[in-house]
Amino acid sequence: MKDKHKYPKVSIIIINAYLTRWLNMLLKSIEKNTKYPNYEIIIVDCCSNVQELQRLMKLYSYLPLKIVYLNKDVGPAMQHNIGAFKSSKDSKYLVFLDNDVRVFPMWLTELVKRLEEDESIGVAQPLILTHEGIYCGFKIGFGGFPRPIPYKRHTSHSQAINEIFYAQGAAFITRSDLFLKVGMFDGDYFLWYDEVDYCWRVRLAGYRITFSTKSYVIHYGGGTTGKQNPKLWYYLIRNIILTIFKNYELIYAIVAFSFTLIEAMVSYIGYALLVLRDYRKALYVVRGIVRGIRDLKKAFSKKSTIKSIKVISSRNLIKHIDKIMDCELILPLIKFMIRR
């Protein structure tokens, strides 16, 4: 049996809300596929059936498991933070998992190894398998809109140098001390884009974001919020605006915001109205823009905290931005309109 004290402590934080079906599947996969000897599991649950949670506790009583139950939905960002506060003081690393994830053998060992081997890495994610393909991370355009990066098995992905802009919140590892240093997740975001904002600040603090080619998880998606929930568009647009003004220097934020507005109007409002014919989704985008502008005071109030940890300028940061994405977001709708 491995001496667990030779391995750095890891706190696995799982967020869950309203139901336990996905949670049971995840815990089964952790039990079966986690050979790493020194970890704890912290489940932060919102509004699920208490009896079902107690049943799960009994079912997995042999695991190093504890549950934090919240009787109101505080949002994933705040759930992550609560889980981090409840983690052991000697935990060197925090792993965040969504409830609709299933892990594969050696997933945790390889993630820890990635950070242990390179102190310049602040965040790393596993390869994430979805029904659409295998992704190794995400990139964003200047306007802030995200896009997954497909992993190509036969392409050279050097673990030593390869970077992504941000790790998907469904599954990633970060350093516990760094998590506190950069200010954790922003609880004001409530839902979506909180991991982008966190990784953005990790970059500003001088750390790199990468992935492990030897760690795998499956992400089914929509386990709690649902894949077609139109409110996701509201939170996406609002939180992009807040992130841009919070993390960019002002002149860069203003320019980026202009891209955000154009892309939101063309690729989201236009797409919702002309292609999907879904007026509700278009309305949520408009509401997101309005709320984002109204909440700018909150974003500016946090800039002093970010300035205290910042070692990378906006000019250097945009080197990691995929500017081609901004054109790609607009072109499909323009082509659609021409064909009509």
What is the tens place of the pLDDT at every residue in 281-318? 999 999 999 999 999 999 999 999 899 999 999 999 98
- pLDDT for position 160: 44
Domain extents in the chain: 10-219, 231-339
- pLDDT for position 1: 47
- pLDDT for position 161: 53
Per-residue b/e over 36-51, b at no fewer than 16 CB within 10 Å?
bebbbbbbbbbebeee
Note the maximum CA span of the chain.
67
- pLDDT for position 234: 95
Residues of the chain falling short of pLDDT 50: 1, 157-160
- pLDDT for position 266: 85
pLDDT digits (tens, 9 = 90+) for 224-240: 555 567 889 999 999 99
Q: Architecture of domain 10-219 in CATH? A: Alpha-Beta Complex (3.90)
- pLDDT for position 338: 63
